[in-house]
Structure 1
């Protein structure tokens, strides 16, 4: 188990019961936080334009970030271009675990976890714990107690932070523009009412 993922976020997610390998149901790859590698839907410049437009649209609708389905969709698409192939990593990992006939020790101690000696725990045909790593050695997912947890890689975290920066700046600019327009309308209404009273 690696414990040096400095900027990693993790998200616990429900299982997708559609497909199983052994006793382990596959994670739900359509979930907002469980990304797997996808080809970019557009160029980075087009993504930037789409993020800015989404921020303006969300601001005028009174929504911010994950309150907006459009934002969530953009994040998933934008981040998954740098995601590891979690689906393949998990499928291959589980397949290898279930092919291994050697039982794992029944008792695991803290030292085993801290120094990375334990990657999964299996008794007979049931897996109760497993970790999955990409080719960079970063943990990308784990399965424990019937739940999947997705861990963001450094590349995913950086790309998501980049998106937030673009979105937040555009959203704040749209909010300021809306406030200015509201103030101008208020001044115009006041001037109009003064003119009528004169």
Structure 2
């Protein structure tokens, strides 16, 4: 984790949970965009089937992807199975920051970024305005800036989410095509049964 006063990530939104360490509120791990490691709810084969069924259900309801609560819940469950333990990474990082009373340098060298897990500079009053959190692979998994949290997908999370989108989109498009064909057939049958006599 690195802490400073950088305000370059201003497009994030408040994602605060109920806890707090120092002046930093906890992220809301229930938010759709803030995953943390959980055990898979089902096997990948069952997820595959559930994704297809959700796509068919959403298409019939005229919803697509995040418009559907069922889709959002499925994405969160599916992706969280490969998520880093953001909750522990953030909790341990903040604990180390607030426990350590010595000031850290404001500039860090390459070795600090490669091997360190907590890098920070505290204000005189211990307020934290900016922090970056990294997993053991060196991937940034979250940042905090002036009361706002943002989660960054890891390579594994992004790959799994892309896989889900591919399955879902294919099933949704197939359901839409079948629906159009059924409507066309119904319209064709109706038209054929109309008697147009003079």
Q: Considering the TM-score relative to the shorter chain, is it more than 0.5? A: yes
CA shift for structure 1 position 142: 0.9
The count of residues paired between Structure 1 and Structure 2 equals: 184
TM-score (norm 1): 0.86
Partner Cα separation in structure 2 for residue 59 and residue 18 of structure 1: 36
RMSD: 2.2
Distance 1:183 1:75 in 2: 33
Q: What are structure 1's unaligned runs of at least 5 residues? A: 3-10
Range 116-125 or range 43-52, more displaced: 116-125
User: 1:189 corresponds to which residue?
Assistant: 190
Shift of residue 123, structure 1, vs aligned partner: 0.8
Question: What's the counterpart of residue 43 of structure 2?
Answer: 43
**Equivalent position of 2:131 in the other structure:** 130
What is the CA deviation profile of residues 134-168 of structure 1, one whole-angstrom value per residue up to 9, with x for unaligned ones?
11111101111111111100000000000000000
Instruction: Name the CA shift for 1:57/1:128 in 2 (closer, same or farther; >3 Å).
Output: same
The residue aligned with 1:85 is 85
Structure 2 unaligned regions, length at least 5: 3-10
**How far, CA to CA, are the matches of 1:121 and 1:68 in structure 2?**
42
SS, match of residue 120 in structure 1:
coil
| Residue 76 of structure 2 is aligned to residue 99 of structure 1 | no
Q: Deviations over 1:97-146 (max 9, x none)?
A: 001112245xx5xxx48956693332132111111111111110111111
Measure, in 1, the Cα distance between the counterparts of 2:128 and 2:28: 18
- The 1:160–1:193 alpha-carbon spacing in structure 2 relative to 1, beyond 3 Å, is same
